[in-house]
Amino acid sequence: MPPPDPTDADLASDLVVHAARLVRAVRRELELPAGIRVISLLDEHGALGVTQLAAADRCSQPTMSALVSQLVERGWVTKAPNPDDARGSVVALTDAGGAELAVVRRRHGERIAALVADHPALTTEDLATAVAVLRGVLEKGNPS
């Protein structure tokens, strides 16, 4: 008999390995700076504090601090003190940041979408499913 159907566990580990491969492939050929994830978060959720951003991006707080600093320097986000809590900050997307996000999205979109379109067996719905799976896996343990 042929090998048995892959279990969820098999699929899950393949998911991770292939995701890692994809990320590196994209970084090589299209560039995927870490800051994009942050900008993407701000675009999706609106202004947030550094710690909230770190939680949402699943990285450590110091990492997010550094990322935000870089983004501020580039003018893609602003960091203001939180008026309700002097410890905290409020990081917000600037117009320039939004524009940059649009540019990167388009670059990635064009390239990846072309590959998917090229693949007879892959539909837009499949792509949506893949994103939903990733999103679902990520949102766990991350009660926003």
Partner DNA sequence: CGACGATACATAGCAAACCTATGTAGTTCC
Partner DNA sequence: GGAACTACATAGGTTTGCTATGTATCGTCG
Three-state DSSP class for residue 36: helix
- Cross-strand bridge partners of residue 81: 89
- Residues 69 and 86: beta-carbon distance below 8 Å: no
Burial 69-98 (b: 16+ CB within 10 A, else e): eebeeeebbbbeeeeeeeeebbbebbeebe
Residue 112 lies near a copy of itself (rule: CB under 8 A): yes
Residues 117-136, one symbol each (x = binds a copy of itself by CB under 8 A, - = not), give xxx-xx-x-xxxxxxxxxxx
> Residue 127 binds which entry of DNA, a copy of itself, none, with Cβ cut-offs from 5 to 8 Å by kind?
a copy of itself
Instruction: Closer to DNA by CB, 55 or 112: give it.
Output: 55
Please identify which residue in 15, 55, 72, 92 interacts with a copy of itself, judged by CB under 8 A. 15
Measured between alpha carbons, how far is 57 from 93 in angstroms, rounded to an integer? 16
Please answer whether residues 68 and 91 qualify as being in contact, where contact means their C-beta atoms are separated by less than 8 angstroms. Answer: yes
Which listed option, a copy of itself, DNA, none, makes contact with residue 52 (CB within 5 to 8 Å by class)?
DNA
**Among residues 15, 26, 63, 130, which is the contact residue for DNA, using CB under 7 A?**
63
For binding to DNA (CB under 7 A), which residues are involved? 20, 24, 28, 32-35, 37, 49-52, 58-63, 65-69, 79, 82, 85-89
